[in-house]
Amino acid sequence: MRINLSGILKDFGREETIEYETYFDEIEWEGEKLKFKEPVKVKAVFTNTKDDIIVSSEVNTVLNVKCHRCLKEFPYEMSIQFEEEIKKSINSAGFDKDVFYLDEDNTIEFDDVVKMHIVLNLPMRFICDVGCKGLCSKCGQNLNIISCTCKEDVFDERLAVLKNFYEKDKEV
């Protein structure tokens, strides 16, 4: 949502609280596209300080993600809080792509700020449950649902190697 902050720019110390709900289709994360399952609820308090506008925000949403271990899709709830600076104008230091600026009409597309902070708060890996057993590396079955016998095969393979070793020994 584009937010107009002209109202608080008149005096230092002025605050404005804005709450809204928006819907993001997807977000880029680690080369993947994550889909949103629920709308994004945003609450933001903007404060006019001398140099910048400081915004303190709370964001809640639910994403559809895939478990890193078992590949099952599951809802990932996010509830984040962050603070961000919004520069009133490009100062003598010049434009910095990592900084948010007010546009000439004193507005900011706050969704861009929200999206950035959602991405910053995502985990390295999504796991559906701490106890998720994942997929069997041999047969690919979901070990949360079924228990395969592949582990015994691994053991058998080791025995086979040992057997070959002894057989080679005999040949010499």
Q: Summarize as ranges the residues that interact with Zn ion (CB under 5 A).
A: 67, 69-70, 128, 132, 136, 138-139, 148, 150
Q: Residue 45 or 150: which CB sits closer to Zn ion?
A: 150
Rounded-to-integer distance, Cα 86 and Cα 11, Å:
16
Q: Which is nearer to Zn ion, 2 or 125 (CB)?
A: 125
The whole-angstrom separation of Cα 57 and Cα 47 is: 11
Give buried/exposed letters for 28-64 (b at 16+ CB in 10 A, else e): eeeeeebebeeebebebebbbeeebbebebebebebe
The nearest distance, CB 61 to Zn ion, in angstroms, is 21
Closer Cβ to Zn ion, 73 or 112, answer by number = 73
CA distance 119 to 169: 58
CB of 67 to Zn ion, least distance (A): 3
Q: Indicate the residue among 120 and 145 with the shorter CB distance to Zn ion.
A: 145
C-alpha span between 98 and 50 (Å, rounded): 20
- At its nearest, how many Å lie between Zn ion and the CB of residue 118? 22
Smallest gap, in angstroms, from Cβ of residue 76 to Zn ion?
Answer: 12
Shortest distance in whole angstroms from residue 140 CB to Zn ion: 7
Nearest residue (CB) to Zn ion, 14 versus 68: 68
* Identity of the residue numbered 122: L
